[in-house]
Structure 1
Amino acid sequence: MFRLCLLFFLLTACRADEPSQPFINGVVIKVKDGDSLVIRDDQNQERQLRLAFIDAPEYSQPFGSEARRNLDRWVSQKHVQAQVVDTDRYQRRVVVLQLGNTDINGEQIKAGFAWHYQHFAKGKQSSADFERYQSLEQQARQGRLGLWQEARPVPPWDYRRANRGN
């Protein structure tokens, strides 16, 4: 019995770094860029959030400020629900953001202001949502929306790698 209790304790302790709340409700008080924001939750706590499964242009990249403005138009000062899927290295909750029935992460892709971040989506995003995000990106590309107006837009992960240490 002691071993069983010890095993349970150890397994529980190993999960301590996982998000403790599957959902966070609150009002968006600041949009930082095209894929991160701050909300004031229902307990009056400020929370830094990163949108899951997408990567928007950095602010200094072409369409970075437009991506931020688009997200701001959708959610600024609005009550949202964030489904927590992870915590990143900056201790931000990584979330799928909902405004009513609208998937805001998908809307950023649909408008051409974010890539579907396949590298992080694989294995974490449902196959139906993975396919939907892929389709939204393909439609934005074909419609030359947002960042897809550029001949060869640089993905943010390549931009960050090229500009490390600068």
Structure 2
Amino acid sequence: MWRGCLLILLLSACRAEQAPVALLSGMVIKVSDGDSLLIRDDQNQEHQLRLAYIDAPEYSQPFGSEARRNLDRLVYRKQVLAKVVDTDRYQRSVVVLQLGNTDINSEQIKAGLAWHYQHFARGKQSSADFERYQSLEQQARQARAGLWQESAPVPPWDYRKAHRGGN
């Protein structure tokens, strides 16, 4: 009898829907760079956030300061909703950031101030959002918006790799 109960319990657990994605809401109190920021929630807890599926130029790269300023302009001192999709190696919540109905992550791409980070997005981002982010990047490239004004912009992941000590 207990084996039957255990079997039913295991089968129901396997069929259970995925746990809901965590949501954070709070006031943006600091913008660190073009894809990371700090919010304070209603319980006065601070949360370090990294924008998911995009990679903005490092601050020392061309358009790094512009990417930071644009994100600051969009969200600083504003109430945002963050859909947590992962945690990075620095223990930051990796999020899709919403301001009202606006996807802030995609706004950085649209402005030409971030790449669609396909390496991390593939298989994690919905196919509709993946296509939308790809399309926004292509439009920014064609319009030569932001970093796409450069003749050969260096993706931040290549820049970081080239500037790592010892490599």
Partner of 1:138: 138
Distance in 2 separating the partners of 1:77 and 1:64: 21
Partner of 1:52: 52
1:1-166 map, 5 Å: 1=2, 4=6, 22-165=22-165
Alpha-carbon offset, residue 41 of structure 1: 1.2
Partner of 1:15: none
Alpha-carbon offset, residue 54 of structure 1: 0.1
* Aligned CA distance change for structure 1 residues 57 and 84 (closer, same or farther; 3 Å): same
* TM-score, normalised via structure 1 length: 0.88
Q: Deviations over 1:112-146 (max 9, x none)?
A: 00000000001110000000000000000000000
Alpha-carbon offset, residue 42 of structure 1: 1.9
Alpha-carbon offset, residue 20 of structure 1: 9.0
Structure 1 runs of 4+ aligned residues shifted over 6 Å read none
**Could you tell which deviates more after superposition, 39-48 or 131-140?**
39-48
Distance in 1 separating the partners of 2:21 and 2:137: 29
Distance in 2 separating the partners of 1:72 and 1:29: 10
Distance in 2 separating the partners of 1:42 and 1:149: 41
- Superposition CA RMSD, Å: 2.0
Letter in 2 for 1:74: L
Identity %: 79
**Secondary structure of residue in 2 paired with 1:28:** strand
For structure 1, list consecutive stretches of 5 or more residues without a partner in the other structure.
12-18
Q: Is the 8 A contact 2:21 2:85 kept in 1?
A: no
Distance in 1 separating the partners of 2:39 and 2:21: 15
Q: Deviations over 1:13-57 (max 9, x none)?
A: xxxxxx996100000000000000000012210100000000000
Letter in 1 for 2:94: V
Distance in 1 separating the partners of 2:160 and 2:48: 20
Q: Deviations over 1:54-111 (max 9, x none)?
A: 0000000000000000000000000000000000000000000000000000000000
Instruction: Count matched residues.
Output: 156
Distance in 2 separating the partners of 1:72 and 1:42: 21
